[in-house]
Structure formats: C-alpha cells, structure tokens
Amino acid sequence: MTKVFDVVVIGAGPAGYVAAIRAAQLGKTVACIDDWKNHDGSLSYGGTCLNAGCIPSKALLESSELVHRAKHEFAAHGIGTGSITVDLAKMQERKAAIVEQLTGGIASLLKANKITALQGRGRLLKDRKVEFTPHDGKAQMLSGKDVILASGSTPMELKQAPFDGKNTVDSWGALEFDAVPKRLGVIGGGVIGLELGSVWQRLGAEVVVLEAMDDFLFMIDRQIAKDTQRQFKRQGLDIRLGAKVSGAKTGKSGIKLQYADSKGEQEVEVDKVVVCVGRQPNSADLFDEACGVKTDARGFVEVDNECRTGVANVWAIGDLVRGPMLAHKGSEEGVMVADLIAGEFSEVNYNTIPSVIYTAPEIAWVGKTEEEVKKSGRAYKVGTFSFAANGRAKAMEMATGLVKIIAAKNDDEILGVHIAGPLAGELVAEAVLAMEFSASAEDLQRTIHGHPTLSEALHEAALAVDNRAIHAINK
C-alpha cells in the first residue's frame, strides 16, 4: 500500500528538515526520510552539519581556542593559570552532548510539526513515487504530490591517501580522535582543513597543511588572505602551498606523505592524516533514471534558480545542487521551495550568502572580492580599518585583522564586505543585511554603532571608503 503525502523530503540535514518544517507550517502533510547513521550505529537527524560537521567542529574549536587563550593571552589580563592541562575525553564528551541535544531537538521539531519522520534510505522513482527502506525492515512505497531531494554531500576521497578509518581519516574522523596526534598532516588547506588543523595545533599537535593550490584560500579576497596567512604562520600552522600529494606510505614510525611543490619531490612524516580535499553531492542511487532527474558531470542535480529539477513537482536543494556547500544556503533554499509549493512568493538572494571560517582570527565575507570587482570592469572604491585601532578588540586582547568594504564608485552600492578578526562571523550579518537592502557605504557611515564595540570597525571601514575615517589615517 502506498502512503500519500503532499510533500516527501529525502534528507533531514539543514536543507531537508527546514523544508519539511516550513511545508508543515503551510498546512502540508509531510514525510521526511533520513538515513544518517552514527559510528556507534545510532540514528539521528540533522545530517552532516549537526552530527559530523558544523556543530561538533565548532564545539572543539571553542574548547581549543580557550586552551590557546589560557596559554598565550590570560597573562596579559593579569590572570595566572599555572600549568594548563587538556582533558580531551572531557572535551569530546562535551561535544557529543551538544550534538545529542541539537539532533534531539530536530526530532522534537519534526514531531511537533506533525511530520512523519522516517529513518532509512529514500529513493525517488518515476511519477514521484519514493521507495523507503528502513534500516531494519522491508521497503515501503510513498508518494508525494511534491518531492524535495536534500540528501546532502559526502567527503571526497583521495586515491593517493585512501581512508582507513584510523590513521587516514575524513573530516568526521578528525573530530573523533581520542588522543592528540603528535604530528598531524592535513591534505587540503580550505575551510575544513584550516579549522581542523587549528583545533589540533592548539591542543598540541605539530600540524602541516598541504594545499595543492598556489594561492592561500584562493576563494577569498587577496588582502584578507595575506593578512590571515601571516597570522596562522605566527600561531605555528605549517602551511605549504602548491603541494600536490602523490602518495602516502604507512611505516613503523608513521605515515610518509609524498608531495611535489616548486622545489621538486618532497616528503613529510606524520602520525595521522586528515583528508579535506572537498565534498561531493550525495546523489549516487538517489533516484531511478526513469524519474527524469538529471545530474551534471560532478553529480550535482541540475536545477534552475528556484531549485526546480525540470521534472514537474520535483525539487532539489542544499549541497545536492549548484552553489556553495553551506548549511544556511540549503536552509534558505528549503524555505523557498516549501513556500513555492504552497503558492507563496519566495526567492533566495544568492548574492548575499555569507561565508565564515571559524579559525582564530575568524574570517567572514559576503559579496564580491576586490579581484572579482576589478575583473568585472566596474569602477570601485575601497575602505579598510584595522582591529588594532578598535577599543573593544584591544580590551579583548584580540586586536588583529581588519574589515574591508568595497563599494561602487558611481552609486556607492556596497559590493563586498570582508572581515578577518574577532567574531567576524557575527559581524558579517550587518553587512549581509545592508547588501540585502542594496545599501550604500554612506548608509553604513550614517548608521550609529555603539561604543566600544567590534562593529565600530565596520563603521570606520565604511567611512574609509570615502577617506572619512576618524580613528585611522586616511590615505
């Protein structure tokens, strides 16, 4: 017997569960299928983000940053701490408790919104039929007037250094170490690699990051990249650019990573390896070919700007489709699709999706880099302000980094905001709001900011766009 729903969602990560909840709020009958299974065999909702990505990594980043501050900053505040000890087991317990609370919260929200939550494998068939196979049962058939594909993504494996689940691991495995590695190799110097490298370096590991690209954090503004690269180097992160890994050999003394850079063939020996070379859409066996959904060469489901797949009433969102693999991007697409299904107007402004790297300093940005604006040919102006001149940052002993604002020369529209410094991930929200309303640099100049606050750095950077900064020398 086929169970019929208004909406069937495959995936309960930040894209899927948000879409399910929003559809239920709009009066739809909803089923949400998720096949997440933890290392211990337990089941939970929330996908990679809550179980093995955003949330657990931020818990360990917070704990490790406190260790770093206790060792290197507390003395400046007049606080004597004596010998600093690290109880990694306790840190891991705390991380696990946070994950359990939040994933349990998702289950409660699904129940409260009267969503039929199903744990197992979902697969789309022709005519919006969905085959649901529980982890411990026989396949059942569901049908949706609309189907939303939201199965997320998985870490990419590197054939030169395949995962073994113990010494060579993916990003999830790197969050589960039960001891601090003496020597840690991180293959990939992107967002995930830098965050994980920062965690274990702060806790005492010697960390070497091997990045194949010649440019550090190629996706961010070059001025911000250069500033943060210097700071990471001061912290002790050994970041080697243009380092293309060719092999990994395990021996008695560790793992020898072979790579080539501008100097030729190189080798470095480590005890553990974390591979962070990107993620791929989890589209394998997600649907039968007969259903008509198409994927591109990389496995991303092809969709339009409103996440329609081209098959009537079948949608795809989140990491499964084009665009940045960010939880909040997927969530917004989930809301948009649910609204559109219900006949409501909705859209996602892909030009104002913020990105954050939760290192210290934090890095956050929205909009275009200076390099992108220059390439577009549009005349522009730039204002920067250093946290070294910000009173709150000085009081926090975190006066490093800067704010950079790029605005159009003709109409003063803000085109991009880039931040490296304390709580950058929180500060960028003001920039996102400003750009959502097509604000000008002058609008930020005229916005009164509390004193002393970190947000004053945005105010001063906006003033600097027109050489009006008060607390910095205008050039």
Catalytic residues: 451
Tokens for 103?
Answer: 């994933």
* 203 touches 69 (CB < 8 A): no
**Are 444 and 458 a contacting pair, CB within 8 Å?**
yes
DSSP state of 320: G
Whole-Å CA distances, 49 to 99, 103, 344: 10, 10, 28
- Residue 194 token pair: 């830098």
Which bin fits 312, alpha (ψ -120 to 50), beta or left (φ > 0)?
A: beta
Residue 97, both tokens = 């408790």
What is the SS3 assignment for 426?
Answer: helix
Q: What is the DSSP string of 169-193?
A: E-HHHHT--SS--SEEEEE--SHHH
Q: Which CA distances in Å does 95 have to 42, 50, 69, 205? A: 16, 11, 19, 19
Q: Which residue has the tokens 């550090």?
A: 216
Both tokens assigned to 265: 């063939």
